[in-house]
């Protein structure tokens, strides 16, 4: 499966989670439910994936974790914020570079319409 097809499936699952829960919960609630929804649809997903930093050729565990890594290709960062900031987009782009992935989705569940809270972030796609 290629990145765009994976992202469509992720967005469909996220819409279902948002439909079931609505806005206003903690990020961790949406993250766990999206993880569950993706798995129930037969999609390979990992939760809280360690993200070491490579500094001067050495891998350092700085405590960073990817919210979700789907099909080992697409990074999903889950938010529940009043609005997305530029730093959130920069965070996902940095994660993509550190993990050498091409596509990330930044999903803010704290919106009335989920489509207004989804941002695609690309790294050389």
Measured distance CA(71)–CA(68) in Å, rounded? 10
Q: What is the pLDDT of residue 35?
A: 98
**What residues in the chain have per-residue pLDDT under 70?**
125
What is the pTM for the complete model shown? Answer: 0.94
Q: What is the pLDDT of residue 54?
A: 86
Q: What is the pLDDT of residue 43?
A: 98
Contact indicator for 92, 123 with CB cutoff of 8 Å: no
49-58: string of b/e by CB count within 10 Å (b at 16+)?
bebeeeeeee
DSSP β-bridge partners for residue 78: 107
């Amino acid at each position: 499966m290629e990145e765009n097809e994976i992202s469509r499936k992720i967005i469909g699952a996220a819409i279902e989670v948002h439909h079931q829960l609505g806005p206003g919960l903690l990020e961790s609630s949406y993250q766990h439910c999206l993880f569950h929804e993706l798995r129930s649809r037969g999609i390979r997903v990992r939760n809280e994936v360690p993200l070491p930093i490579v500094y001067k050729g050495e891998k350092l565990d700085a405590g960073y974790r990817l919210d979700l890594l789907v099909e080992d290709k697409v990074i999903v960062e889950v938010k529940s914020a009043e609005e997305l900031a530029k730093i959130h987009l920069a965070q996902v782009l940095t994660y993509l570079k550190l993990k050498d992935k091409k596509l990330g989705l930044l999903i803010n569940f704290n919106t009335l319409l989920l489509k207004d809270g989804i941002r695609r972030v690309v790294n050389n796609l």
